[in-house]
A and B are shown apart, each in its own frame.
Chain A
Amino acid sequence: MSWISYVIFFAVIVLTLYITYWAAKQTTTASDFYTAGGSLTGWQNGMAIAGDYLSAASFLGIAGAISLNGFDGFYYSIGWLTAYLVVLFLIAEPLRNLGKFTMADMIGARFGAKKVRGAAALNTITIVMFYMLAQLVGAGALIKLLFGIEYWIAVLIVGTMMLIYVLFGGMTATSWVQIVKAILLMLGTIVISFLVLMKFNFNFIGMFETMKTATPHGEAFLHSGVVYTDTIGLISVLIALVLGTAGLPHILMRFFTVKDAKTARSSVIYSVWIIGIFYVLTIFLGFGAAKFVGSDAIIAENAAGNMAAPMLAGVLGGDALESFVAAVAFATILAVVAGLVLSGASAIAHDIYGQIFKNGNVTEKQQVNAARWASIAIGVFSILLALGSEKLNVAFLVSLAFCVAASANVPTILLTIYWKKFNTTGAVASMLTGLIVALVLVAISPSVMNPVEGATLITGDPIFPYANPAIFSVPAGFLAAWIGTLVSSKRHEKDEISYAEVRFKAETGYKELDL
């Protein structure tokens, strides 16, 4: 690696630290810490959502998946983008209208029982841990590749940086790191796409013609079915992608960083354009890498194709562009893990400590302190896990996070808003069933069990045939909600907050004065 890489990396680190220093001065209350005081404007929050959303899985993962598997990799782009309609049409506004800091707040607005909040917090922490592990393992591999430093040192660097942002700058620093990163990522992606298109003589259709013969897959590269030979398995993945987004705690948390539902809505509009354009450009990243780097070289560097985008940048623009893209990937990971730490910390400090143990009777100072300690706990724990997980497949961890989010959170979120009969038992049953079914099915799936020794955690034939169990675990979440509600409604269980109140608040955004 040349001196240019060091300069660019150093610049990213200095810039983000300066942001943190500036943000630290404005972070005093719990609301500042969790939600930047709700002070972000629509476009700022839109950029931050894009920054949160376009994780290493999107940037490194999709580019790699398209380069190796053609159209099958593009399913991720389609799924994650369509997910935005689910968020916009069904969830964003009611969530913003009912909640305060966390998803559990929103469910707690209807069900006061502590076990409901506890289950929601448990799901949040589980999803955050899987997702964060994926990002940290990815970051470790990336930095190891670029600088030749040991994996464990790389993980420690990323882990320390994320803790600095969160501890000192809270959501304000995290949001601005995400905004800066979104800009850098778009810039880098647009430059690479332009160079790729130039190599194809600006002939978009001709590019497809060339791709027919550019990869070992031949014409199949342009068709569905290179990886997803089984349609049920494919649909299962697509369910996890489109519903999982709507249950990701760090994405949902972003809707609390604006002052009202109207601003939440407008931030979705900004992010949907940025994210949409990015996902279209993943075609150029993927095709370009397949053509100009070659699948052998990509696989040689990383079997999952995670290094396809930086390698493509190197081929097209030399050291300088490769370093820039690597720095962007680094910033991407930092921004996403910081957001994850915050949502995990909010579940521990706000939901479990503040609401469950202290019944909401905590001072501002106690809340912020608890949040900082929770951030340290989440951060340190995930760093330790990441240190021992170098060999884990990043894409598997991300798909697991999406699957748990889709199965454990989404049924409860939707039914809390839209189903009148839904009750405490139904909510708890749904959240726990979704979580457990998703985890168990993944544990006995091909992602964990493989007859080839050493390929996965357990050697042996998988008991469950699909890598992603969403097609079973999401219905299980809904079914448990229904059964739980029916069984307990016979006992005339009374939920203390009326559905009428929830409905009215969710639709109108009306709030009684916060005391």
Chain B
Amino acid sequence: MTNQVARGKSTLDYEKLVQTEDFKGLVKRKKVFATPFVIFFFAAYFILPLLTGYTKILETPAIGAMTWTWVYAFSMFVMVWVFTSIYMNKAKHFDVEVDKIIEKNVLK
């Protein structure tokens, strides 16, 4: 195994590697996991200026003098922290999968 890896580039057939069920599964699961989050945070981010720019619905007081615009903005912060934590947890599972793929397909 060491020889193969050490000789570098030409020894690994990446075309074949990316076609393995394990790798395809990993890529698919990563995509299925990440896509909704990416769509959600971009949407949440750009809906804010659309609402403040074209409507007045966020301009009403929410808590005391604090308007819904501020509540929306603060919830963006919460979103960032929550999404980051979720990503962290999920990524640990993917790490395990990656280790298995390397062990099974590359270091065999």
Shortest beta-carbon distance from B65 to chain A in Å? 4
From A266, A273, A501, A507, give the contact of B26 (CB < 8 A). A507
B49 and A235: CB pair below 8 A?
A: yes
Tell which of A75, A89, A205 touches B64, judged by Cβ atoms closer than 8 Å. A205
Name the residue of chain B whose CB is nearest to the CB of A238. Answer: B49
Are A71 and B50 closer than 8 Å at their CB atoms? no
Q: In whole angstroms, what is the CA distance A116 to B63 when docked?
A: 53
**Roughly how many angstroms separate A206 CA and B64 CA in the complex, as a whole number?**
7
With contacts A208-B64, A507-B26, A512-B12 taken as known, whether A234 is within 8 angstroms of B83 at the C-beta atoms is no
Q: Mark B52-91, 1 if CB is under 8 A from A, else 0.
A: 1110001100011111011001101100110111011001
B101 CB to closest chain A CB (Å) equals 6
Q: Are A238 and B65 in contact (CB under 8 A)?
A: no
A71-B70, A205-B64, A512-B12 given; A507·B5 CB < 8 A: no
CB pair B52–A276 under 8 Å, yes or no, is no
- Residue numbers in A under 8 Å from B37 (CB-CB): 85, 89
A183 at the interface (CB under 8 A from B): no
Q: Are B87 and A238 in contact (CB under 8 A)?
A: no
With A90-B38, A238-B46, A265-B91: A279-B77 Cβ-Cβ less than 8 Å: yes
State whether B8 touches A515 (Cβ < 8 A).
Answer: yes
Chain B residue nearest in CB terms to A514 = B8
* Highest count of chain B CB atoms <10 Å: which of A205, A212, A510: A510
**Interface pair B23/A269, CB less than 8 Å apart:** no
Contact A508 B76 (CB under 8 A): no
Residues of chain A within 8 A of B14, CB atoms compared: 498, 500-501, 503-504
Q: Chain A residue with minimal CB distance to B59?
A: A223
A225 at the interface (CB under 8 A from B): yes
Instruction: Give the interface SS of chain A, mostly helix, strand, loop or mixed.
Output: helix
Q: Is the CB of B45 within 8 A of A224?
A: no
Would you call A234 and B67 a contact (CB within 8 A)?
Answer: no
**Interface size, B (range):** 35 or more
Distance between A281 CB and nearest chain B CB, rounded to angstroms? 11
Binds B, one of A24-32, A76-84, A136-144: A76-84
| Interchain CB contact under 8 A, B6 and A85 | no
A209 proximal to B (CB < 8 A): yes
Closest Cβ of chain A to B18, distance in Å, is: 4
The digit string for B20-57, where 1 denotes a CB below 8 A from any CB of A, is 00010011001000100110011001101110111000
- Which among B5, B6, B58, B73 is the interface contact of A78 at CB below 8 angstroms? B73
Say whether B101 contacts A508, CB under 8 Å: yes
Interface centre among B6, B49, B54, B77 (most CB of A within 10 A): B49
CB pair B76–A78 under 8 Å, yes or no, is: yes
Residue among B18, B58, B65 making CB contact with A209, cutoff 8 Å:
B65
With A205-B64, A209-B64, A272-B80 in contact, do A504 and B69 touch (Cβ < 8 Å)? Answer: no
CB < 8 Å neighbour of B87 from A89, A235, A279, A280: A89
Q: Are A224 and B69 in contact (CB under 8 A)?
A: yes
- A71 nearest CB neighbor, chain B only: B69
* Given A82-B41, A89-B87, A500-B14: A508 touches B98 (CB 8 Å cut-off): yes
Residues of chain B within 8 A (CB-CB) of A272 are 80-81, 84
Any chain B CB within 8 A of the CB of A513?
A: yes
A222 lies within 8 A of chain B by Cβ = yes
Q: Are B63 and A234 in contact (CB under 8 A)?
A: no
Residues of A within 8 A of B42 (CB): 242
Contacts of A358 in B (CB 8 A): none
Interface string of A483-498 (1 = CB under 8 A from B): 0000000000000001
Say yes or no: B102 contacts A508, CB within 8 Å: yes
Are B77 and A224 neighbours in the complex by a CB distance under 8 Å?
no
CA distance A197 to B66 in the complex (A): 16
The distance in angstroms between the C-alpha atoms of A230 and B6, with both chains bound, is 58
In the assembled complex, the CB of B71 is this many whole angstroms from the nearest CB of chain A, namely 11
Whole-angstrom CA separation of A514 from B72 in the bound complex: 48
Asked if A231 and B53 sit within 8 Å, CB to CB, the answer is yes
Which of B45, B95, B101 lies in contact with A238, CB distance below 8 A? B45
Report if A439 contacts B (CB, 8 A): no
Complex A-B: 14 CB contacts under 8 Å: A71-B73, A82-B80, A84-B80, A90-B34, A205-B63, A224-B49, A224-B53, A231-B49, A234-B52, A266-B88, A280-B74, A498-B14, A504-B18, A510-B106
Can you add 5 more A-B contacts, CB < 8 Å, to A212-B65, A501-B12?
A: A225-B52, A231-B52, A266-B88, A269-B85, A504-B17
